[in-house]
Structure 1
């Protein structure tokens, strides 16, 4: 009898103890058993009770006792275990479930121009329950138009990051990020997702629900954003440069030769990135002069007057030193790594 090989890996780095991660892991395991997927948990919590509870629990569960104390390394350990064509990244405070009566999308039959499949996403808090539900797709046929489409539809929420993606798109992007990005900041998830959308459309699977726990983000958005910068050693004022850094990161991610883009498609992606994200930052600088010093204002003016994309990037990398001295050299190395990825 032929044994069906799984098409999907649910990849979960887990640092919470058993009491705080049990519901999440059990929901993922129930879903994996329902659809014939595999769940990969890379556990660096050091909680022996958790290990005893889950290790060997199911043939659908690959439980890794991770020695990595660094969150990024543990994340890559979970991802690197994915040997299936598709994967779903998942946090160990979130939950997923299968909706009975809904037909799941056939992953094996997806056209080549589809980068992934998004679930029905529930934005949830412990105190308020489900706040909003998202099901929007990314349908544009052209890579650059998909960037503009997501910018219109996302409305400040990047929960679509927790979707099913092609493994050969997601893992190399995350490996470049973890190994070469100047900060490895959590704020980079927007640029990562946008770069994946350049590779293909996103469909919707109504049989999969992903409950995203807002946690502390629900109470103090400004403080949580500032904490993302503090965690990676950046000044809290880095938030004034958010769209600028998103622009620069997306540009560099989009340069990867392994992205399935034709030269003209790549050029149009880079130009759309300028029109959407860079233009937003260049508008902010004169509108809020109290947030930017003279050097930033001067370099931003040079960028605004420039029409050559390579010169724009050179000036943009120079500008990163205004955020933090030494950041420029780290961005140069990131750019070089992307060109070889």
Structure 2
């Protein structure tokens, strides 16, 4: 066999192994999705968006009443992946050091040593994040944007695998601090969680009873951090046609130039989304397609992810707020007005 033939054979073998490995990764994430849906019943969107945030390397903001398995979802996910998990209950008296950590004086060495806080975990559940004061929000902003925290004169990197799932209670407003636009823009997705239907509620009842009785549940799916990083590369490498790329650009540009599409849209929007929304929509559409078993992105993937991606980033005008127009209604109007080809 000639040298060129050997090189070609090696190339084909490498491509075959790579495709096999990617197929194995996709199968593993499908099994993870199925397992999570058996443990977090009645919230398929929450499960799927959590996995999309994990694959797209972003953070997720979840809004919904208490008791809808928000904490349970991220806790069960943490049991399935290689990495540490911590839950922080945000309160008005929380200090940045309670989150980031602080320097501790050691009498035996007469030196200060840094004691890491709960933010130094791979998965962080920020429960009722809008109850934290401005200084804590600033610490969260640096962590989410730069994957690092600064205390005093020193900066410390966070784990390479770092995902924040923050929750908000839409019912109670007393003692809350609305998240600033800059921090909302750091969330990859915002998901609104609703109550489960009657059939799902019955399943929840039976699952809870089984857990209380100690009945064995399905074995969890375990995923290493190496597999997660490999899956992220696979997601970024799937095919996106130029027409789909331009469709994403047109959607985001429509929020900045709404008068070019409709007077109604111009009255509803005070400010358009930033380029960060374009990047988020690209990543999330790819992750959505990959989770659905495809190696290419369609306009439907973009439309599906436009709601959670644009929802926290649209700055509504006073007219829209006075009329009770929701961000989702504006996204629907955008999809109607902007041609996908």
TM over 0.5: no
Greater RCO (CA < 8 Å, at least 6 residues apart) = 2
Greater Rg by CA: 2
Q: TM-score, normalised by structure 1?
A: 0.27
